[in-house]
Amino acid sequence: MKKIFFVFIIVVVFNSIFFPFSLWSRYVKDVFIISVDTLRRDFVGIYNDKVVYTPNIDKLLRNSLFFSNARTVEPLTAPSFASLFTGVYPHEHGVTRNGIRFSEQIDSLPKVLSKVGYTTVAVISNWVLNSRISGFDKHFDFYLEPFSTNRWIVGFKESSAEIITNRSIQFLKNRQELEPIFMWIHYSDPHAPYRYKGYLPALKKFAFPRDARGRYASEVAFTDFYIGKLLEFLRNGRKNSCTVFVVDHGENLGEHNYWGHGRHLWEESLRIPMGINCQGVVDSSVIDHFALILDIPNTLLGILGAKGKVLGHGINWWEVVSYKGGRNPRKVTLYQAHKGAVQRKSKSTIRRARIKGLLELGIIDSEGTKIVYRIKDKKIRVVNLNKEKESNIYKRLDDMKDRIYPYLREVIRDLAAFDESSPPPLLDEENYRVLETLGYVD
């Protein structure tokens, strides 16, 4: 009896060291997050049957825990990804604008996985995520920034989809296959200024027009092509893995007289493609409920079997699908829009940078009613997303105060606290000019 008990203790200790996430971690060794900047949902084939140039993304999502109605919480790169990794809203993690650093004191998904033995890696293409201004590097063991492509006329460099795929594969080839890896791979090609990428031989058949929408579509196809190369390598070289596909935000291409993203809560900027592919562990299924980018951490932790570990207040959709019959556990989803970047002024003028940057707050209830409050004008627009399209018509707040004000008070309170305790640093001249070129400086 004592011998059996001793063997049991050895097994428990062994499992706690080598399989800290219980049963599921034995089947899911690696976790990859593939993200694309500024990718509109309706430019991905699985969401729009008229689109035929995203076969690799479509195949990945078709065999996934697939979110047909996912949204970002803020249509801006750094705030959105900070929510992705923490499971909380921008006013709760403090990264409300590009150029505000992501605090290394905040718990995050890569930090959680690093503590249980994962090597955490990021391969970054977008300048606003560079380690000098973003702070994201403090959450990873390796933070690769292969900036070598000039997408703009000015001199700063970013990375093309080809470079990001090649650098990611190169890194993985140099690591032992037995070593568990959490890897975030971020592509940026669909971002402005919408450079034409239809010259790739595999894409010539699509004959993309040379107007803004055509150039944007060609960049989406270009990115999909190189994501396909990455996925092919992962299928052959890193088996037993989970692959998340997600987008930080969409893009307005002239709808509502607006080009770009960040300053308004239009559906074109909020709605995103999203899915989690863990074949052999998670069955393919479709989630039609309102889901958010901040649901990714708890859903992944649930799949990995990290019982009792929760990041923020995102939903564990794998648990919902597996045990609760797919019922919608969320009554309302919340959104916010802020100015793009903190102005390069004196320290005294940026102490209220977060509060002064707040532009809009939004609420969508489970019935599809969307309310957007424009802070400066103190007016709202209301739309039922199930019945009508959004319009540019705003009206007085009136009877919607009770629905907007509690959220507004919470956001203002938290932003004021962050401004007091962690005022954003002054940007150096180079980073300020780059963010200005990217359209993030008013």
CATH number at residue 145: 3.40.720.10
Cα separation, 133 vs 432, in Å, equals 10
* Final residue belonging to a domain, choices 323, 346, 377: 323
Instruction: Verify cis geometry, omega within 30 degrees of 0, for the bond prior to 193.
Output: yes
Q: Among candidates 234, 231, 120, 126, which has minimal Cα distance to 187?
A: 126
If phi > 0 it is left, if psi is from -120 to 50 it is alpha, else beta; for residue 39 that is: beta
> Looking at the domain assignment, is residue 13 inside a domain?
no
Same domain membership, residue 216 and residue 338: no
For helices 212-237 and 161-173, give the axis angle rounded to 10 degrees: 10
Identify the three-state secondary structure at position 321: helix
Please tell me the predicted confidence (pLDDT) of residue 161: 96
The answer to the question of residue 8 being in a domain is: no
Same domain, 389 and 316: no
Per DSSP, 287 falls in state E
Structural domain contains residue 415 = yes
Q: What is the pLDDT of residue 150?
A: 72
Q: Domain boundary at 323, 350, 370, which?
A: 323
pLDDT at residue number 417? 95
Q: Is 90 in the same domain as 228?
A: yes
Percent of the chain with pLDDT over 90: 67
Domain-embedded: residue 365: yes
Q: Is residue 10 part of a domain?
A: no
pLDDT of 347: 58
Shared-domain flag, residues 316 and 213: yes
Q: Is residue 7 in some structural domain?
A: no
DSSP codes of every residue in 70-129: EE-SSSSHHHHHHHHHHSS-HHHHS--SBTS---TTS--HHHHHHHTT-EEEEE---GGG
Q: Would residue 232 count as lying in a domain?
A: yes
Whether pLDDT at 384 is above 80: yes
**pLDDT digit string, tens, across residues 401-429:** 788 899 999 999 999 999 999 877 667 77
Predicted structure pTM score? 0.91
| Domain match, 223 and 253 both | yes
- Cβ contact 303:322 at 8 Å: no
pLDDT score of 288 more than 80:
yes
Q: How many domains does the chain have?
A: 2
pLDDT above 80 for 350: no
pLDDT at 217 over 50: yes
Q: Is residue 21 part of a domain?
A: no
Closest alpha carbon to 303 in 277, 282, 283: 282
Looking at the fold, whether 257 and 390 belong to one and the same domain comes out as no
Same domain for 371 and 283: no
If asked whether residues 304 and 357 sit together in one domain, one would say no
Angle of the 296-304 helix axis to the 77-86 helix axis, nearest 10? 30
Q: Range of 360's domain?
A: 332-437
Q: Are residues 356 and 241 in the same domain?
A: no
pLDDT tens digits, residue range 10-52?
A: 433 444 444 444 434 556 889 999 999 999 999 999 999 999 9
Residue 249 and residue 397 share a domain: no
Domain boundary, last residue among 272, 299, 323: 323
- Residues with Cβ within 8 Å of 231's Cβ and at least 6 positions away in sequence, in order, are 56, 60, 243
Closest to 126 (Cα-Cα) out of 99, 106, 103, 108? 99
Residues 99 and 174 in one domain: yes
Q: Cβ atoms within 10 A of the Cβ of 393, count?
A: 9
57 and 138 co-located in one domain: yes
CB burial of 194-214 (b: ≥16 within 10 Å; e: otherwise) equals bbebbeeeebeeeebeeeeeb
Amino acid, res. 220 = V
Mean pLDDT over residues 253-266, rounded?
Answer: 96
